[in-house]
A and B are shown apart, each in its own frame.
Chain A
Amino acid sequence: AQSVTQLDSQVPVFEEAPVELRCNYSSSVSVYLFWYVQYPNQGLQLLLKYLSGSTLVKGINGFEAEFNKSQTSFHLRKPSVHISDTAEYFCAVSSLGGFQKLVFGTGTRLLVSP
């Protein structure tokens, strides 16, 4: 079974500052890792994913994440945030193959202020 921990429920940051949203996972098998973003009153949109290969993954809107197998982490980063990045961010894992059950973290609300 897999589990995902997002330690920060809310992260306030000023516009143009860097941000890191933390994600740790637990699994006894190899996994795929995802970051989804949910803007207010909208569905989830895929930001980026790690399947294999390079541990640094680049996604949309200038976000990137680094897979660290030894620390079982997949932290999301952006060097300079915008007001429009205000949203809820979900980290998720799934096992390889099968029907792909996504296991989500509890989410981190990013609040960007001027």
Chain B
Amino acid sequence: NAGVTQTPKFRVLKTGQSMTLLCAQDMNHEYMYWYRQDPGMGLRLIHYSVGEGTTAKGEVPDGYNVSRLKKQNFLLGLESAAPSQTSVYFCASRTTRNPASTDTQYFGPGTRLTVL
């Protein structure tokens, strides 16, 4: 049981390039989330998904797109990267079916992205 995994771990992009971050979870969780972590600002929600085929905007969605074609995967895309998107990106997932843990989000190890 790997939990929540993220690919890649590190990436350097040039301004204007595109890329996709992959989040995968093997816990059959319904909810998945993408956050970004910036120094002195804590974590902020970018997008989230309440189930396969559904996505919704979070607190800071501009410049990002997401897709959830399969229940276990949640993709975060940057179509035209900007230096302001330099950050550490975390994915999380949550179940709604286990009463003992419906309130807990499980986080992946993060992807460190630098945009030059």
* Complex interface bits, A81-106 against B, C-beta within 8 A gives 1, otherwise 0: 00000000010001000011110111
Which A residues are in CB contact (< 8 Å) with B74?
A: none
CB contact list, A23-81 vs B, under 8 A: 32, 36, 42-46, 49, 51
Is B107 within 8 A of A100, CB to CB?
no
Which A residues are in CB contact (< 8 Å) with B50?
A: 99
Is B103 within 8 A of A106, CB to CB?
no
Distance in Å from the Cβ of A55 to the closest Cβ of chain B?
17
Given contacts A9-B40, A90-B42, A107-B42, contact A102 B104 (CB under 8 A): no
Is A90 within 8 A of B43, CB to CB?
yes
Distance in Å from the Cβ of B22 to the closest Cβ of chain A?
15
Is B42 within 8 A of A44, CB to CB?
no
Dominant secondary structure at the B interface: strand
Chain B: CB-nearest residue to A51 = B103
Which A residues are in CB contact (< 8 Å) with B27?
A: none
Is B104 within 8 A of A43, CB to CB?
no
Which B residues are in CB contact (< 8 Å) with A107?
A: 42
Is A43 within 8 A of B43, CB to CB?
no
Which B residues are in CB contact (< 8 Å) with A4?
A: 42
Which A residues are in CB contact (< 8 Å) with B104?
A: 46, 49
Is B110 within 8 A of A101, CB to CB?
no
* Complex interface bits, B36-64 against A, C-beta within 8 A gives 1, otherwise 0: 00001111110010100000101100000
CA distance A9 to B31 in the complex (A): 31
Residues of B within 8 A of A (CB): 4, 31, 33, 40-45, 48, 50, 56, 58-59, 90, 92, 94, 103-110
Residues of A within 8 A of B (CB): 4, 9, 32, 36, 42-46, 49, 51, 90, 94, 99-102, 104-107
A43-B4, A45-B107 known, 11 other contacts, Cβ within 8 Å: A4-B42, A9-B40, A43-B110, A44-B43, A44-B90, A49-B103, A99-B56, A100-B105, A101-B59, A105-B42, A107-B42
